[in-house]
């Protein structure tokens, strides 16, 4: 979410809305032994990669320092994000809940991450987001179409990416670590980004650094530690996806099956990549619950890539989180699941029918973008749907309608709202389990 003007002015959301920027790609998530050595020499041992996440942490500290001056209640904060922003929201809470064993957290100082400051006071403490005598209180989080799916790669696993970056820029491996970093820093930023497109390992993601993330992240997550902290703090969750998440991810898919493994390995550790390819290409774990494809002409490799990545990035980790919260005793009344299958006509003009309702297309609904020209009927549909978000952020009683953990509130293609049984739950929990174990 990025522009809340209509959401606040017309849809009755009452909050202070703060949307920080942060470093992306090679600037936000490059990691290597050379950077780790430099950090250690600077007195920041273990602080390597994850610079974009540290930027977000600094934004949280900024909210702590100045949010009250804008009329916000620092005891009642909502973190919300879409796509990589949802990953970021999950990452910030995971880091605070689980990184206590990692030592002192330091700052080395987009996808969207949004911080909402709103409402009534709440005695919820997140001790690592402190700036004085009081802590910033995260009372609720909203994850739109993403969550943390597996352990981030280790420093050793991402070192080949750093070496490849040197190679595409013609920087010698014979140089010292300091010289390599100096050579990279001498490059024009646009040149640096353009060369990234030539790389096989072109996607820069968070790393298991032992500072922001504990190195045993998923072992602790699967032990229920995150969910128990969530319950202890009395937090609430809004989480869900759109009907055809895979159609956006296909846009980055290889057309050549020989490149499938390398593309998926951009996102996940090698062992997870192998298990996912086997589960989908060989076992075809997903086909029994598959919906009709909006694009009957999609290529086999593109379809397989889209199915693996949309499940791996969005559907499976969301459901794993939901199961963890359920097993930790979080009441269903504090966990609100949704599925969006509605696409307004003004969106259809931009996204053709073969795209279905793809990843990210629901942002116009969550932002209540009525200035984009929805019909009166579509505007009413959007306003009815957005009331749940308004109630969620403003801390009002939801009366959401779901009575089972496997149910989602569904905004259908016709604009009607109903309670929908999650047909994908069973196989996605299997996918989540195989991703959780390297």
Give the pLDDT band of residue 46 (cuts 50, 70, 90): confident
Q: Rounded distance, CA 162 to CA 353, Å?
A: 40
**Average pLDDT of the chain, as a whole number:** 90
* pLDDT exceeds 70 at position 409: yes
Q: Rounded distance, CA 384 to CA 248, Å?
A: 26
Q: Rounded distance, CA 312 to CA 318, Å?
A: 10
* pLDDT exceeds 60 at position 64: yes
Identify the three-state secondary structure at position 149.
Answer: coil
Torsion of CA 367, 372, 374, 379, to 10 degrees: 30
**DSSP letters spanning 372-433:** G---HHHHHHHHHHHHHHHHHHTT--------STTEEEEE-TTS-EEEEE-TTHHHHHHHHH
Contact 108, 63 (CB under 8 A): no
Pairing of strands 335-340, 77-82: unpaired
What tens digit of pLDDT does each residue of 124-165 get?
A: 223 334 444 345 688 999 999 999 999 999 999 999 999 999
Average pLDDT over residues 349-377: 93
Q: Rounded distance, CA 20 to CA 7, Å?
A: 18
pLDDT at 1: 52
Of 15, 10, 133, 53, the closest CA to residue 394 belongs to 15
Helix axes 155-168, 177-185, angle to 10 degrees: 60
CA 152 to chain centre: 13
* pLDDT exceeds 80 at position 3: no
Contact 368, 382 (CB under 8 A): yes
The dihedrals phi and psi of 212, each to the nearest 5 degrees, come to: -75, -45
Contact 438, 152 (CB under 8 A): no
pLDDT at 149: 96
Q: Rounded distance, CA 207 to CA 213, Å?
A: 8
* pLDDT exceeds 90 at position 437: no
pLDDT at 135: 57
CA terminus-to-terminus distance, the chain? 33
pLDDT at 112: 37
Which helix (DSSP H) or strand (DSSP E) does residue 55 occupy? helix 51-66
* pLDDT exceeds 90 at position 376: yes
Q: What's the angle, vertex CA 62, arms to CA 109 and CA 153, rounded to 5?
A: 45
Of 91, 315, 82, the closest CA to residue 217 belongs to 91
Q: What's the angle, vertex CA 238, arms to CA 85 and CA 433, rounded to 5?
A: 75
Contact 435, 276 (CB under 8 A): yes
pTM reported for the whole predicted model: 0.92
Contact 46, 99 (CB under 8 A): no
Q: Rounded distance, CA 271 to CA 59, Å?
A: 34
Give 161-166 contacts, CB < 8 A, sequence gap 24+. Answer: 161/30, 161/32, 161/199, 161/201, 161/204, 162/30, 162/31, 162/32, 162/34, 162/35, 163/32, 164/199, 164/200, 164/201, 165/26, 165/30, 165/195, 165/196, 165/199
CA 48 to chain centre: 20
pLDDT at 11: 82
| Token duo for residue 419 | 């309670």
**DSSP secondary structure letter of residue 81:** E
Number of H helices, E strands in the chain: 19, 8
Average pLDDT over residues 222-234: 94
pLDDT at 321: 98
Contact 122, 75 (CB under 8 A): yes
| Token duo for residue 300 | 């086999």
């Amino acid at each position: 979410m990025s522009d809340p003007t209509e959401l606040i002015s017309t849809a009755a959301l009452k909050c202070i809305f703060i949307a920080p920027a942060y470093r992306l790609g090679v600037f936000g998530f490059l990691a290597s032994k050379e950077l780790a050595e430099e950090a250690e020499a600077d007195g920041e041992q273990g602080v390597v990669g994850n610079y974009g996440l540290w930027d977000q942490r600094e934004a949280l500290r900024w909210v702590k320092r100045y949010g009250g001056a804008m009329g916000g209640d620092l005891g009642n904060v909502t973190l919300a994000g879409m796509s990589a922003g949802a990953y970021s929201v999950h990452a910030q809470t995971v880091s605070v809940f689980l990184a206590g064993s990692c030592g002192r957290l330091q700052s080395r100082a987009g996808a969207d991450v949004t911080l909402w400051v709103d409402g009534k006071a709440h005695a919820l403490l997140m001790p690592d987001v402190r700036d004085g005598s009081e802590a910033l209180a995260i009372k609720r989080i909203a994850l739109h179409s993403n969550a943390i799916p597996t352990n981030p790669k280790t420093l050793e696993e991402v070192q080949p990416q750093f070496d490849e970056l040197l190679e595409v820029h013609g920087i010698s491996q014979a140089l010292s670590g300091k010289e390599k970093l100096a050579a990279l820093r001498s490059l024009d930023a646009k040149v640096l980004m353009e060369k990234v497109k030539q790389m096989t390992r072109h996607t820069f993601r968070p790393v298991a650094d032992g500072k922001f993330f504990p190195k045993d992240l998923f072992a602790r997550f699967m032990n229920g530690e995150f969910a128990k902290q969530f319950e202890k703090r009395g937090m609430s969750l809004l989480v869900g996806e759109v009907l055809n998440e895979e159609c956006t991810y296909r846009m980055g898919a290889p057309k050549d099956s020989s490149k499938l493994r390398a593309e998926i390995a951009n996102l996940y550790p090698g062992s997870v990549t192998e298990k996912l390819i086997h589960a989908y290409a060989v076992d075809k774990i997903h086909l029994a619950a598959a919906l009709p494809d909006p694009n009957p002409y999609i290529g086999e490799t593109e379809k397989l890539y889209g199915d693996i990545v949309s499940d791996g990035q969005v559907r499976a980790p969301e459901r794993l989180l939901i199961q963890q919260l359920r097993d930790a005793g979080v009441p269903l009344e504090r966990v609100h699941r949704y599925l969006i299958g509605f696409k307004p006509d003004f969106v259809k003009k931009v996204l053709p029918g073969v795209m279905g309702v793809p990843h990210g297309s629901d942002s116009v609904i969550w932002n209540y973008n009525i200035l984009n020209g929805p019909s009166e009927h579509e505007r009413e549909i959007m306003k009815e749907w957005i009331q749940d978000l308004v109630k969620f952020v403003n801390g009002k009683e939801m009366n959401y309608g779901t009575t089972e953990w496997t149910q989602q509130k569904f905004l259908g293609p016709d604009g009607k709202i109903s309670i929908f049984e999650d047909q994908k739950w069973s196989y996605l929990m299997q996918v989540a389990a195989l991703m959780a174990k390297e």
